[in-house]
Amino acid sequence: MSLFPSDVVVPLPRRIVSGGQTGVDRAGLDVAIDLGLEHGGWCPAGRLAEDGRVPNRYRMTEHRSPMYPPRTEQNVIDSDATLILYLGKLSGGTLLTKRLADKHRKPAMTLKLNSESMDRVRRWLADVRPETLNVAGPRESSCPGIERSAAEFLHQVFSDPNR
């Protein structure tokens, strides 16, 4: 019996990027590292994050601006698709990411983390087949526990016993 509701094989992206913030951004980067994928993306000047500096273990490129929106937009532009993971409702930078993906006509999926969303995201990734996937969502302080939940979810999305 399959671990997932469908037999959709999700191709791994070549690269996962994010803005480097705590929460969903870091979950995306950590999963990329765990899977041996390239990772990175744009972060604000000074590697600014809510917990201080984005750790050096993440291969981020500093944007010339210290503000969050410019790096958010550059990550959307530089990616083939954006996966937005959240709980509750879209707001703040998470909502901005969705609006920027729409503005730049980039494929984007907004996905509330729950067990029913696994098949939906796997089918979307199989259809879109992004080489570079931008992973975005709320920061840890606005949604405690989201980093761990998003990392577990992404590991399940990309798990394939035949890899």
Per-residue tens of pLDDT for the chain, all 163 residues? 333 445 677 889 999 999 999 999 999 999 999 999 999 999 999 999 999 999 999 999 999 999 999 999 999 999 999 999 999 899 999 999 999 999 999 999 999 997 668 889 999 999 999 999 999 999 999 999 999 999 999 999 998 755 4
* pLDDT score for 114: 76
User: For the whole model, what pTM was predicted?
Assistant: 0.93
Q: Look at residue 9 and tell me if it is in a domain.
A: no
Q: Which two tokens stand for residue 96?
A: 């901005």
Question: At 144, which CATH number?
Answer: 3.40.50.450
Residue 97 domain-assigned?
Answer: yes
Closest CA to 106 of 140, 77, 136, 127: 77
Q: Tell me what pLDDT residue 129 has.
A: 97
Residue 146 in any domain: the answer is yes
What's the confidence (pLDDT) of residue 11? 87
Q: Checking phi first, is residue 19 left (phi over 0); if not, alpha (psi -120 to 50) or beta? A: alpha
In a domain, residue 100? The reply is yes
Does the residue 3 lie in any domain?
A: no
Say what the pLDDT of residue 159 is.
85
Give the model's pLDDT for residue 3.
Answer: 39
Asked whether residue 27 is domain-assigned, the answer is: yes
Report if residue 41 sits inside a domain. yes
Domain-located, residue 10: no
What local confidence, expressed as pLDDT, does residue 163 receive?
47
What's the total number of domains in the chain?
1
The domain in which residue 110 lies consists of 15-158
Query: At residue 79, what is the residue type?
Result: S
